[in-house]
Amino acid sequence: QVQLVESGGGLVQAGGSRRLSCAASGRTFSNRGMGWFRQAPGKEREFVACISWSGGSTYYADSVKGRFTISRDNSKNTVYLQMNSLKPEDTAVYYCAANRAIFGGSEITSYDYWGQGTQVTVSS
């Protein structure tokens, strides 16, 4: 069992930065790939970034590549999403998720635990 709690959302101006955190409880955190997804109003949930169990491998959606960075600290059971050069189209609820496997991935169905989400709003 893994419980996930996101934090760090809020209102930010376009061009600004924000760091999201996802605190995990449960002893299997370090054995799982982790991912960030987002969902804007009226749209489907979409993949943002993922990271392998060790942090050695990461993968990003094209829309955030070069602007967002995913990282993790297994000693703190926490995964992060550093978001720079934010755009109004980044406005969404951001969700942290734990993958069934150690490598993560972009498929929503490969994740079996989800946080409650944190709202990020980027003003123009």
Q: Which residue has the tokens 């449960």?
A: 26
Query: What is the C-alpha radius of gyration for the chain, rounded to an integer number of angstroms?
Result: 13
Tally the C-alpha atoms within 13 A of residue 111's C-alpha that lie toward its C-beta: 27
Q: Is the pLDDT of residue 84 over 90?
A: yes
Q: Are 7 and 120 in contact, with CB atoms under 8 Å apart?
A: no
Q: What is the pLDDT of residue 103?
A: 87
> For residue range 50-59, what is the model confidence (pLDDT) as tens digits?
999 999 999 9
Q: Is the pLDDT of residue 29 over 90?
A: no
Residues with Cβ within 8 Å of residue 17, at least 6 apart in sequence: 82, 83, 84, 85, 86
Q: Are 67 and 83 in contact, with CB atoms under 8 Å apart?
A: yes
pLDDT class of 99 with cuts at 50, 70, 90: very high
How far apart are the C-alpha atoms of 20 and 67, rounded to whole Å?
Answer: 14
Closest alpha carbon to 50 in 111, 112, 8, 106: 106
Q: What is the mean pLDDT of residues 82-100?
A: 97
How far apart are the C-alpha atoms of 89 and 17, rounded to whole Å?
Answer: 14
